[in-house]
């Protein structure tokens, strides 16, 4: 079935409420209640594993470099280390050129937002109002970027029926002809779905045919318990045309407070992207870039990180079983549970907080209503398994006790 105007939300439908932070909305929802047990927070995807041991010494060695302005594109050692990591980790058509095909970012969120602004200018005139396609549910930076770029945000429902990824076959030609860019997250947040190489190839074919950009959010690519997820860049052709991958050290290296990542891919787009960031985006401090050089040169701490998450997913397998539609995700550290038969996502969230001290986020807060009024996140709750294994086990036991 083609995705026509009847299956996308109007620009201003529910804007005032749905464009607010899901965490601000969650705080308001829970404000009237006091938890009956000590609080365990599973709502925020903030890694709690130890910071790698090399961070402190590297910062100390480069402390003097806080005394000068960084260049916007990133220091050469950083760009070389990140490019080498990409070429080692993924089966790319050829190695990334660190000089022209990679830019440092203040974490992937900043890059994903500014990329929408650049995409609208880069792609140019469209056949109709320019649009940016967004998976629904989604990371809030996507919608913020589309809005700032003056593009219509078209929300593509990602449900169990379509493997929790946008249904590419449902996109009609009229929509694709006015598309500026599509955001794709693999592993997906919140469901943990991973795009196959075939999926990436089909997406690349559409991007080349209709002349839009693929903004591939891959910040969870290093957290998995089975096969390693691939990258959009693996299927982007020898020049990475129309494809940009965004990476971050927040999840991979447990450094959410460092705010450091990169964008890599289409050099023509990145050249324009660099021009915008050079005047509008915050620069990344040089000492932090040296930490990233060490991080991208070391896999031991990443393997240990995966081991710790694997333990927690093993616990989820044991404690949740097949309750609430639980499925061990292919990637990421979130669990997406169907609580539609437990009163719905808001009611279940309140009950877990009030009666069990477990803080989760309603799935409807992570998504937007479609034009027909349906919300792809409604009836689900998201849990981020970022705490230690003992705390995670306690939270999951409380969850089962309360919801059952």
- SS (HEC) of the chain: CCECHHHCCCCCCCHHHHCCCHHHHHHHHHCCCCCCCCCEECCCCCCCCCCCCCHHHHHHHCHHHHHCCCCCCCCHHHHHHHHHHHHHHCCCCCCCCCCCCEEEECHHHHHHHHHHHHHHHHHCCCCCCCEEEEEECCCHHHHHHHHHCCCEEEEEECCHHHCCCCCHHHECHHHHHCEEEEEEECCCCCCCCCCCHHHHHHHHHHHHHHCCEEEEECCCCCCCCCCCCCCHHHHCCCCCCCEEEEEEHHHHCCCCCCCCEEEEECHHHHHHHHHHHHHHCCCCCHHHHHHHHHHHCCCHHHHHHHHHHHHHHHHHHHHHCCHHHCCCCCCCCEEEEECHHHCCHHHHHHHHHHHHCEECEEHHHHCCCCCCCCCCCCCEEEEECCCCHHHHHHHHHHHHHHHC
pLDDT in tens, the chain (404 residues): 344 433 444 444 444 555 788 999 999 999 999 999 999 999 999 999 999 999 999 999 999 999 999 999 999 999 999 999 999 999 999 999 999 999 999 989 999 999 999 999 999 899 999 999 999 999 999 999 999 999 999 999 999 999 999 999 999 999 999 999 999 999 999 999 999 999 999 999 999 999 999 999 999 999 998 899 999 999 999 999 999 999 999 999 999 999 999 999 999 999 999 999 999 988 999 999 999 999 999 999 999 999 999 999 999 999 999 999 999 999 999 999 999 999 999 999 999 999 999 999 999 999 999 989 999 999 999 999 999 999 999 999 999 999 99
- So what's the pLDDT on residue 86? 98
Q: What domains, with CATH codes, occur in the chain? A: 14-45+301-403 (3.90.1150.10), 55-298 (3.40.640.10)
- So what's the pLDDT on residue 16? 55
Would you say the pTM of this structure is higher than 0.75?
Answer: yes
């Amino acid at each position: 079935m083609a995705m026509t105007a009847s299956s996308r939300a109007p620009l201003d439908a529910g804007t005032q409420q749905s464009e607010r932070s899901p965490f601000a909305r969650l705080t308001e929802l829970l404000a009237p209640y006091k938890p009956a047990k000590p609080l365990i927070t599973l709502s925020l995807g903030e890694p709690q594993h130890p910071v790698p041991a090399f961070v402190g010494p590297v910062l100390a060695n480069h402390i003097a470099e806080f005394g000068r302005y960084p260049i916007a594109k990133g220091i050469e050692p950083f760009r070389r280390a990140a490019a080498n990591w990409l070429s080692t980790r993924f089966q790319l058509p050829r190695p990334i050129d660190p000089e022209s095909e990679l830019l440092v970012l203040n974490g992937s969120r900043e890059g994903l937002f500014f990329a929408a602004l650049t995409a609208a200018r880069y792609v140019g005139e469209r056949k109709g109002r320019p649009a940016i396609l967004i998976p629904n549910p989604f990371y809030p930076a996507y919608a913020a970027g589309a809005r700032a770029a003056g593009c219509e945000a078209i929300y593509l429902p990602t449900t169990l029926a379509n493997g929790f990824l946008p249904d590419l076959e449902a996109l009609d030609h009229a929509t694709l002809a006015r598309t500026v860019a599509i955001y794709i997250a693999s592993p997906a947040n919140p469901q943990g779905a991973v795009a196959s190489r075939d999926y990436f190839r089909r997406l690349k074919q559409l991007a080349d045919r209709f002349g839009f950009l693929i903004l591939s959010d891959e910040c969870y690519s290093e957290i998995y318990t089975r096969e390693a997820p691939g990258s959009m860049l693996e299927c982007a052709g020898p020049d990475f045309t129309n494809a940009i991958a965004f990476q971050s050290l927040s999840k991979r290296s447990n450094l959410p407070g460092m705010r450091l990542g990169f964008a890599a891919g289409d050099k023509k787009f990145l050249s324009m992207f660099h021009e915008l960031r050079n005047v509008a985006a915050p620069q990344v401090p040089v000492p932090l870039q040296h930490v990233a050089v060490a991080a991208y040169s070391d896999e031991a701490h990443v393997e240990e990180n995966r081991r710790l998450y694997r333990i927690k997913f093993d616990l989820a397998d044991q404690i949740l079983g097949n309750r609430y539609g639980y499925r061990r995700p292919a990637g990421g550290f979130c669990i997406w549970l169907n609580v539609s038969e437990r009163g719905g996502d808001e009611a279940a969230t309140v009950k877990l907080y009030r009666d069990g001290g477990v803080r989760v986020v309603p799935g409807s807060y992570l998504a937007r209503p479609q034009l027909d009024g349906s919300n792809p996140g409604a009836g689900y709750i998201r849990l981020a398994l970022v705490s230690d294994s003992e705390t995670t086990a306690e939270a999951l036991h409380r969850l089962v006790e309360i919801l059952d």
